[in-house]
Amino acid sequence: MGLMRYLSDARVRLEMLTLMPSDEEREEIPRERWLRDLKERVIHEMCDLLLTSSDIRNPNKLFIDLHNREKQWSTALGHGVAFPHVRTMHTRTLVFAIGRSMPGIDYDAPDGEPVHLFFSMVCPPYEDQIYRRFAKQLAIAVTYGGLVDQALQATTVGEMMRLVDGLV
């Protein structure tokens, strides 16, 4: 089973709107503050993509859940990927979105590298099987499968969707 039933072209953004702060801003503002603000903007942008699904029950609470999850532990995996995700009752079913940043965004990744791909997933707590299966396959594809390179070369939303569809 692939992810196409949980993903639509409206939930894939080939170039994210969120950008890194300027060099000047990064010098003037403590790193912790601009990084916190940057992560919040990324979560907002990913929520905007997720909200294109009619399965989202409460947009504000979904943002709070995703944001709180990120504050607990960074969802940056390294290798240019972050996986902002949460199990929440504010969605009826699993909903998935993809955001790509070609220049990359500092997201406090364990390898210190910028994040280029954001795979955001929300699902109710009772839909655990697909949630765990996808998270595992994503980690394998990022680490060993060349997903990052392929996704950075995708030129259309359809190409990006087909890459991810084969993960599960």
DSSP 35-61: HHHHHHHHHHHHHHHHTTSTTBS-HHH
For residue 2, what pLDDT is reported?
Answer: 63
Q: Round the average pLDDT of the chain to a whole number and report it.
A: 91
Q: At what angle do helices 59-72 and 31-50 cross, to 10 degrees?
A: 140
For residue 3, what pLDDT is reported?
Answer: 67
pLDDT at 166 over 90: no
The domain total for the chain is 1
Instruction: Check which CATH number belongs to the domain holding 16 and give it.
Output: 3.40.930.10
H helices present in 12-167, as ranges: 23-28, 31-50, 59-72, 128-144, 147-153, 157-165
Q: In percent, how much of the chain has pLDDT > 90?
A: 73
Rounded Cα distance between 120 and 84, Å, is 5
Rounded Cα distance between 117 and 151, Å, is 8
Q: What is the CA radius of gyration of the chain?
A: 15
pLDDT classification of 40: cutoffs 50, 70, 90? very high
Task: Determine the structural domain holding residue 99 and report its residue range.
Answer: 4-165
Q: What is the pLDDT of residues 7-37, one digit of tens each?
A: 899 999 999 999 999 999 999 999 999 999 9
Over residues 162-166, the mean pLDDT reads 79
Low-confidence winner among 65-69, 79-83, 143-147, 153-157 (lowest mean pLDDT): 143-147
Question: What pTM, to 2 d.p., does this model score?
Answer: 0.92
